Structure 1
Amino acid sequence: MSLRYSVVSKTKGMREGALPGEDYVEVGRDMKESEQAAKYLQDAGYDMLNCDNGTYDAWYWSHPPLYMPQNCNLADVEHIKNFVSIPVVAAGRMTPEVAANAIKEGKLDAMGVARQFLADPAWVTKMMASREDEIRPCICCHNGCFNMAHYKGVGNDQDLKDAIHMARCAINAETMQTNVHYIEKTKHPKTVAIIGGGIGGMETARVLKLRGHTPIIYEKSGTLGGVFNAASTPDFKEKDQELLKWYALQMKDLGIEIHLNTEIKDVKDLKADEVVVATGSKARRFSKLPGIERTVEAVEYLEGKPVGDTVLICGGGLTGCEIAYELYLKGKHPIIVEMKDDLIAQKGVCMANSTYLRNFFALHQVPVYLETSLQAVGASNVTLKGKDGKEFDVACDSVIMSVGYIPTPLAEESKHIHLVGDCNGIGNLRTVIWRAYDVAMAI
């Protein structure tokens, strides 16, 4: 009988987790206590310890998001193995190469993996056959497998369907949903024009091709990937970059016809049986905000537009917080302004991801202004309005706007025109991919 065992609680207080490298006093189970507890569990008859770290107060150790280091729990698990004779397993963003070396050296007995199997059930088979580039990577987003959203005043903002159907996958619509998402060959092959080569467009094309249709992608830029190209640029999003490569390989291996640098302005220009519109969205723009011309859009920054040393991010949702996180890692000084009473107060973002970012900003004393709005942007400062209605100035070199997006469909939904991705409604990677799969199955 195996036991899921948290080696160290990584907890410094009630609802206060400790981050990697943080100097803190453990209030939960520390390593000394864990050494003794592991022996007790072995003596009680457990056959194996399946180990990680953390508690619900530090859930980013148990279910590491993309911000956590790979193999983040390995050192502590290796230490515990010295105190028991039963097999010890390490889980938590484990990489096969590091795990194999630890096993070879006798420091570990096995590697625990869950989420990668949800993204690609055949990943081990592909790895053994030296086909690693064919593995659909887990990107540690938790949008499908553990999307319990927690923020101030809300214990768990989650749909009931998600609560009773955990262990699905944002990037693999078939996982735990084969009753609704499965490849069924069509009896009536069609030519389907897809306007937009982002993730939604590529997923639609992939499923259509597997079903026996002939999809044709028209992309106005010179690269596939859409806005996900910009979203994947931070160094900590290496798995997002792998996902883009996986989709590009799928397009190549399936022989899907692609027209880059081709902008479609009217669906009537297309000769196709069906049309899929996957034209994405545009940034919401506060055109009447004084000084708006001095600001940088989130996508512009992610695409490489330079910013100064002290950077104010207007918008404390997931995108804004990830930008602030990256800026801090680069040695800059981010400031976050958010109108709501908490950061990342949105459904669909797992508490492991959101709590990590909130704790990171608190630990590193990143200025966060909640229930505060941006009133004006000056040459070297901004004017903000707080909850009390009073205005005040904050000095900064640059302002990044991250205040959401507006769908930009090229055409309306109709019998033979189908909308996919953010042009159908602003969401996340899960809503994009699952919707694309649904549309491809319905054609």
Structure 2
Amino acid sequence: MKLLEPGRIGTLELKNRIVMAAMGVRGLCDPDGGWGERFRAYYEARARGGVGLITTEMTFVSRDFEPVACQLFSPVDDAHVPGLRALADALHAHGCKLSVQLTAGFGRVIPAAIIDENTAPVSASENPNFYVPEYPEYNSRALSTDETAALAAAFGPAARRCREAGADCVELHGHEGYLMDQFMSALWNRRTDRYGGSFDNRMRFAREAIEAIQREAGPDFPIIYRFGLTHFLEGGRDPAEGLMVAVELEKMGVAALHIDGGCYETGWWPHPPQYQTPGCLADLAAEVKRVVSIPVIAVGKLHYPETAEAVLADGKADFIAIGRGLLSDPDWVNKVARRAFDDILPCIGCHEGCLWQMIAGEPTSCALNPLTGHETVWSLKPLAGKKKLLIVGAGPAGIEAARAGVQRGFDVTLWEASESAGGNLVPASTAPFKSDVAAYLAYLRRLLAQLPIDLRYGMHVSADAVRSFGSDYIVLATGAAMEDPPVTGSKVFSVIDVLRGRDVDADRIVMMGAGVIGCETALYLAQQGKKVSLCARNDSDELDISMVDMHNRNMLLRLIRHPNISIHRAAIPFAFENGLVMAECGSETISIPAGSLVFAGRMFPVDALSSALQGQPNVLSVGDCCEAGSIMDAVWSAFHAVRSCDEAKR
């Protein structure tokens, strides 16, 4: 496989073509911004898993211009060198090389939650904050000419310290509309000094940063530059200018180009959500590869081995970078080397455990793998003696409980009421654009078949049956069900019915409810040629969508701009008869022609068994049967429930 062939970036020899992309890992560093044990363990797990080159998260070259109210990495003084050296040594022990991503800062995309109250953010020009543009107090101020020169010069000593600590190269954080990119783009750079205006002037900040690194760390120290070929945004960088950037960066002496696309306004490109196509940015890398002679790194939903291999085999790039796929499964490379593709725990693009956690101020992790970022914090300790664990329900929570139970040494029995595993993942994975969830469901079913457990289907169990089984611990993972539609009739269906394959037998459909599942099902039906009238309870651009990360939300909202979908805001259907759905729409009543009505309502816990067993010791309810939530809620609650079993008695 080309993925496993050795490669070279400048003077750096790599054992394979797989790069771990830089991702924010807020909460893993030491209070002073240094590299500590928790940070080291997180990256070492991926090095142990076979990655050829690991790129750290963005590390600040200076604290003088953009103080932030949180812990973020920064090699700004010699005190940080020992921690970074320990990280380099740990990775090198596994044959993995280390790249430190150096950043000028956030600029206009700094999350409001981490803005220092006493210091305004900075940018190339005064720009509104991406997250809260309506609050001028969060606007970025323009750096002065002298400040800009000093910030560019700060890349030199930062890179020197990285090299002294054993880092093998650095990557410059010039993409996605962060501060370095704000200088390069005319959309955010409206300066009139030597750092603004012409293309050459807008490239000056990057040029001076690169020259500072070459001067301080040596001309042979490899520099990787990451930037977006296009922002996919009106007024932003287009592909033609992106190719000019690539050619110019090669002239400046960078050793490789890491090519992505998009910015926060079009965040479904640099942060591919579940609706995005695998390998979505590979063609951008191919464009760059045609105009430069240095290695090109492709990125963008490349965690499917077949996709990643094809990018290299087709000559679109020289290396591939994987980000969130290595959060879900740190052993990705080793499993690829064993050709055990089916054993890879796939990223589902939910962004809940990674991006959403970070923006919310929590340590970065993974919805499907709670140990990510918690390698030194949590573990599944072996039991002191043999014990029995009974699990009721084989959805994602029940299967995670079974996996964790086996790892701890429990004798596990799993009862499932239906004839197959997966719970509500089954309807959630039906639509073709939900292939990531389908891959996760397939993974769970294979895992379940491999676990040494007593698995029984068709088990409609009572509280008495659970009590009489005689288990030391009982985990209830009975899931959630959708509320009944408020409108009745033979042509009224729930989205669960539709996604489980029931034929709605109509060409015109009203979808009642425009949350995530309602919008997804509307799109699913529209792609089949159905005409769908989507009724949202709220009068909002975001319809009824809530509690989902912005990149998934924004891409879904774009996808439902479908010619077969019409949207009615603040519309609440109340009757369906004679081929018309009647809906309250503000102070008016509207009628919508339809052959069927599909209801996307709230999910509620299936908790009858939990209630019947209330008060019995060692009974743990997990997942949706506690409170209807996300896949992350299901997996994490099951993991922690099993982790806690027997701990108090040890």
Aligned equivalents of 2:487 and 2:305: distance in 1?
A: 53
Change (3 A) 1:54 1:219: same
Task: Write the deviation string for residues 112-132 of structure 1: whole angstroms up to 9, x where unpaired.
Answer: 111111111101111111211
Residue 88 of structure 1 corresponds to which residue in structure 2?
296
**CA offset digits 1:194-220 (Å, max 9, x no partner):** 111111111101101110111211111
Q: Is structure 2 residue 543 aligned with structure 1 residue 343?
A: yes
Alignment of 1:233-312 (within 5 A): 233-266=430-463, 267-286=466-485, 289-291=486-488, 294-307=491-504, 308-312=506-510
**Which has the larger displacement, 335-344 or 204-213?**
335-344
Aligned residue among 300, 304, 313 for 2:511? 313
Alignment partner for residue 140 of structure 1, among 349, 370, 393? Answer: 349
Which deviates further from its counterpart, 326-335 or 254-263? Answer: 326-335
How far is 1:104 from its partner?
4.1
The match for 1:75 among 264, 278, 283 is 283
- Tell me the matched-pair count: 413
Distance 1:362 1:64 in 2: 19
Identity over the aligned pairs, expressed in percent?
A: 27
- d(CA) in 2 for partners of 1:110 and 1:326? 35
Contact 2:417 2:457 in 1 (8 A): yes
Whole-Å separation in 2 of the counterparts to 1:333 and 1:198: 33
Structure 1 gap ranges (5+): 13-26, 148-158
**Residues of 1 paired with 2:576 and 2:377: CA distance?**
49
Distance verdict in 2 for CA 1:391–1:115, change over 3 Å: same
Q: Structure 1 residues 252, 98: closer, same or farther in 2, change over 3 A?
A: closer
Are the aligned partners of 1:8 and 1:53 in contact in 2 as well (CA < 8 Å)?
yes
| Selected match of 2:600 from 402, 405, 408 | 402
Shift of 1:279: 0.9
Q: Which residue of 1 aligns with 2:637?
A: 435
Q: Which residue of 1 aligns with 2:238?
A: 30
Give the secondary structure class of the aligned counterpart of 2:441: helix
**Is 1:40 matched with 2:248?**
yes
Spell out, residue by residue over 1:219-258, the C-alpha distance to the aligned partner (whole angstroms, 9 max, x if none). Answer: 1111111121121122222232222232223223221111
TM-score of the two chains, using structure 1 as the length reference? 0.88
- Corresponding position of 2:552: 353
- Note if 1:219 corresponds to 2:219: no
Q: Which residue identity is paired with 1:183?
A: L
Shift of 1:178: 2.6
Matches of residues 167-206 of structure 1 in structure 2 within 5 Å?
A: 168-206=365-403
Tell me which amino acid in the other structure corresponds to 1:304. Answer: G
CA RMSD of aligned residues (A): 2.0
Where 1:384 maps in the other structure, the secondary structure is strand
Residues 1:118 and 2:324 aligned together = no
CA-to-aligned-CA distance 1:395-425 (integer Å, 9 cap, x gap): 1121111111111111235432110110010
Cα displacement (A) at 1:264: 0.5
Q: Whose Rg is larger? A: 2
* One-letter amino acid matched to 1:311: I
Q: Hey, what's the Cα distance between the residues in 1 that align with 2:430 and 2:363?
A: 31
Give distance in 2, aligned partners of 1:165 and 1:117: 16
CA distance in 1, matches of 2:577, 2:537: 20
- Quick check: 1:6 aligned with 2:6? no
Report if aligned partners of 2:526, 2:562 keep a CA contact under 8 Å in 1.
no
Q: Quick check: 1:194–1:278 contact (8 Å CA) kept in 2?
A: yes
Task: Go from structure 1 to structure 2 and tell me whether the alpha carbon gap of 1:132 and 1:401 turns closer, same or farther (over 3 Å shift).
Answer: same
d(CA) in 1 for partners of 2:562, 2:246: 31
Q: Are residues 222 and 392 of structure 1, via their aligned partners in 2, closer, same or farther at CA, if it must alter by over 3 Å?
A: same
Residue 531 of structure 2 is aligned to residue 333 of structure 1: yes
The AA in structure 2 aligned to 1:339 is R
Shift, 1:41, TM fit: 2.4
Q: Which moved more, 1:355-364 or 1:307-316?
A: 355-364
CA contact (8 A) 2:537 2:543 kept: no
Pair 1:419 & 2:628 matched: no
Q: Which has the higher contact order (CA 8 A, sep 6+)?
A: 1
Aligned 8 A contact 2:526 2:564 in 1:
no
Query: Which residue identity is paired with 2:456?
Result: H
Verify the 8 A CA contact 1:294 1:379 in the aligned structure 2. no
- TM-score normalised by the chain length of structure 2: 0.61
Question: What corresponds to 1:22 in structure 2?
Answer: none
Q: Secondary structure at the match of 1:146?
A: helix
The AA in structure 2 aligned to 1:36 is M
When residues 101 and 178 of structure 1 are mapped into structure 2, their CA distance, relative to the original with a 3 A threshold, is: closer
Whole-Å separation in 1 of the counterparts to 2:553 and 2:358: 20
User: Structure 1 residue 365: deviation in Å?
Assistant: 6.8
Q: In 2, Cα distance between the equivalents of 1:280 and 1:63?
A: 30
Give a deviation string over 1:345-393, Cα, whole Å, max 9, x none: 312x121111111122236472112222122122412111123x21111
- C-alpha contact 1:90 1:112 (8 A) present in aligned 2: yes
- Counterparts of 1:246 and 1:102, CA distance in 2: 24
Q: Which sits farther off after the overlay, 433-442 or 232-241? A: 232-241
Instruction: Verify the 8 A CA contact 1:65 1:352 in the aligned structure 2.
Output: yes
| Alpha-carbon distance in structure 1 between the residues aligned to 2:426 and 2:287 | 40
CA offset digits 1:92-111 (Å, max 9, x no partner)? 12244344344345431111
Q: 1:406 to 1:363 in 2, by over 3 A?
A: closer
CA contact (8 A) 1:195 1:276 kept: yes
Check conservation: 1:203, 1:436, Cα contact below 8 A.
Answer: yes
In structure 2, what is the Cα distance between the partners aligned to 1:343 and 1:115? 28
Amino acid at match of 1:29: R
Match of 1:362 in 2: 561
Range with greater deviation from structure 2 (98-107 or 331-340): 98-107
Question: Which residue identity does 2:394 align to in structure 1?
Answer: G
Segment drifting more, 239-248 vs 276-285: 239-248
Counterpart in 2 of 1:19? none
1:251-282 per-residue CA deviation (whole Å, 9 max, x = no partner) reads: 23221111111111213343212211111112
- Contact 1:181-1:437 at 8 Å conserved across structures: no
Q: Which amino acid aligns with 1:184?
A: K
In 1, are the aligned partners of 2:224 and 2:254 still within 8 Å (CA)? Answer: yes
Mapped partners of 2:382, 2:553: distance in 1: 40
Moved more, 400-409 or 358-367: 358-367
Unaligned runs of 5+ in 2: 1-222, 646-650
In 2, the alpha carbon distance for the partners of 1:105 and 1:245 equals 28
Tell me by how many angstroms 1:344 deviates: 4.8
1:91 Cα deviation after fit: 0.8
In 2, Cα distance between the equivalents of 1:309 and 1:41?
Answer: 54
2:306 paired with 1:97: yes
Secondary structure of 1:4's counterpart equals strand
Secondary structure, in 3 states, of the residue corresponding to 2:517?
helix
Residue 384 of structure 1 corresponds to 583
CA distance in 1, matches of 2:319, 2:256: 10
CA distance in 1, matches of 2:562, 2:263: 18
Q: CA deviation at 1:78?
A: 0.5
CA positional deviation for 1:300: 0.8
